[in-house]
Amino acid sequence: MGVQLPTAFVKRMEQLLGDEFEAFMAAYDHTPHAGIRVNTLKIPVEDFKERSPFELRPIPWCPTGFYIPHGTKPGLHPYYHAGLYYVQEPSAMSPVELLNIAQDEAVLDLCAAPGGKSTQIAAKLQGSGILVTNDISADRTKALAKNVELYGVRNAVVLNEIPDRIADAFPHFFDKILIDAPCSGEGMFRKDEDMAKQWETHSVEKCVVMQRDILCVAASMLSDGGRIVYSTCTFAPEENEAMIAEFLEGHPDFNLIPVPSEAGFGPGHPEWVSEEIAAAHPELRGTARLWPHLVEGEGHFIAVLQHQGGARVDSAADLTESGDLAPSKQHLPVREALLSNGQGRRTEESVRTGKGMSGKSGKGKNTRGIDSNKSRIGKEHVKSAARSPHDVLASYRQFVQEQLEVSLEDHTVVYGDRIYQSPLASHRLDGLKVVRPGWFMGTDKNGRFIPSHPLAVALRPSEAIRSINLSSSDAEAIRYLKGETLSVPVERMELRHGAQPKGYTLVCIDGYSAGWGKWQDGMLKNEYPTGWRWTSV
C-alpha cells in the first residue's frame, strides 16, 4: 500500500465497515482520479467537448464535470489560462450540485478557499444574483480571489471573515449556503498523504467544535425556505451524522432532504453514532457518503438541510437611513429591499475611502481577536489616491464609454485608486474584512484608467471594441501567456464601431478572453500580469 494510514484510523474503519473493509482498503492501492469541470460562464459544455485537448469521460453526479486520464496535465494548456475549466477532484463537485441553485439567488460559500466550489456556484448563477465567498484564512483568500477572477466571475464578493460577523451583516439573507466544513480530512488520505500524517494533531474533536459553530451561525443567515448543504471530506461519524443530528435537534424548523443514490453514493449511517440516534433520526440515512471503493472519487459526506419556511421578515429601516431605498420598499424582507429595482439589481456609484471600509464592527466590538482598526479591502494592492474619488470615477466612465460594449448594472465602488463593480451596495460591507467587493475593473493612474486583468478575462470578445484572436495550437498563444511582446499586423485586429487600432486590445485564445495587450504600429505590448504568467518550460 502506497499510503501510510494511521493505525487508529484503520482500526476504526475496520470496526465500522465490517464486510466492506477489505474493498475499502484495496482502494488505497489505486491512483486517485483526476477531473476537470467546464466553466460554463465562458463556454458551453458541448462546445468544450468538441474542442477539448483531453480525453473526457463524464462524472455521473456533475453534468459539467469530466474525468481525464491519469498523467494528463490540464494546467499546462492555454485553455486553463483562459479559464475554460477548473481542475477539481471529482467527489468535490457533488455538494454544489445538491444546492439546487437557481439564477438570481443570493448564495454564500462560507468556507470557500481555494475557490473550486465558488466557481461552480458562479457558473450556475450565470452572472445573476449574488455570490458571497469567504474564508477565515487570510493567506488562503489570495488563491480564492485569484480563482474567482481567473474564471470570469462578475458577481462575487470575497470576504476574509469569521461566520459570526457575516451573520451580523446578513441576517436571513442567503437563499443557499454551502458549508464545505473544515474537517479531519480522512477522505483525502489517498490523494494527499500529508493529511494522513497530520491526522492526529488535526483531531476530530477540534473539528467538531468548529463545525458546530459554523452550522448554527449559518442557519441565522439563511432566508425563509432556503437550503444549506453541509459537506466534509472525512469518514468520522462525529463530524458527519452526529453533527447533523445535533443540528436538527436544535433547529426543528429544518428538514433533511434525502440525497439521491443513483450516482453510487452510499447512505448515511446514524447507527455509527449510537443506536439512540439511529432510532431518533432514521432520516439520517438520507445523507450521502462517497466511498473511494464505490465511486471514482475520494471520500465525502453530504447533508442537505432545507428550512421549512415561515414568517421571517426583517425590518429594512436601517437600510433606508442613507436614502438608498424608496419608502415604498421599506417593509420588504432585507434581501429584496437591498436588490429591488424590478430586475433584481440597481445601478449605484459609491465613493469609499479607507476609513469608510474599515474593519470596525457596526456594534463597536472586536470579535475573536480580530484587529478592528485596519482597512480591509484588498489592502495588499490599495494605494492612497492623489486624485479625488470623483476624478477617479471620471476616468473610469470615459474608458467604459470609449472602449467597452458592456452593460454595468451593479454598484460602482471606488476605493482609493481602484474601481469595482459590486453586486451589493457598498455600505452593506462596512465592518467586514473585504478582499474583493466585486468585479475588479481597474486602477486610476494620474487621470488614466488602467483596466485590470480580471476585467479582461470576464469580458466576451464582443464587449471590447478591439480584440485579437490567438490559436491555442500556435506557439504565439504561449508566448503571450509568458508575457512576450507580439508582432501583430493590423489586418488581424477585430475593430468594432469604427475604432482605431491603437490602444487596449482584448487578447483571446480560440475566441475566449485571456487578457489585455496594447497595440501600436504592428506591435502588441503584453499586459499579461507577472503573477499569472505561464511558467513551465
Active site residues: 233
- Give the β-pairing of 448-451 and 439-445: antiparallel
What kind and span of H or E run contains 479? helix 475-481
Residue in 226, 279, 289, 244 with CA at minimum distance from that of residue 16: 289
Q: Which three cell numbers stand for residue 241?
A: 451524522
Cα gap 152→39, rounded to integer Å: 9
Instruction: Tell me if 77 sits within 8 A of 68, measured CB to CB.
Output: no
Q: How far apart are CA 535 and CA 149, in angstroms?
A: 19
CB pairs under 8 A, 24+ apart, for 45-51? 48/84, 48/85, 51/510
Residues 6+ apart with CB under 8 A from 379: none
Q: Tell me how far apart the alpha carbons of residues 5 and 28 are, in angstroms, rounded to a whole number.
A: 9
Residues 6+ apart with CB under 8 A from 288: 94, 259, 261, 265, 266, 267, 268, 300, 301, 302, 303
DSSP character for 386? S
**What number of CA atoms fall less than 13 Å from residue 175's CA on the CB side?**
16
194 SS3 class: helix
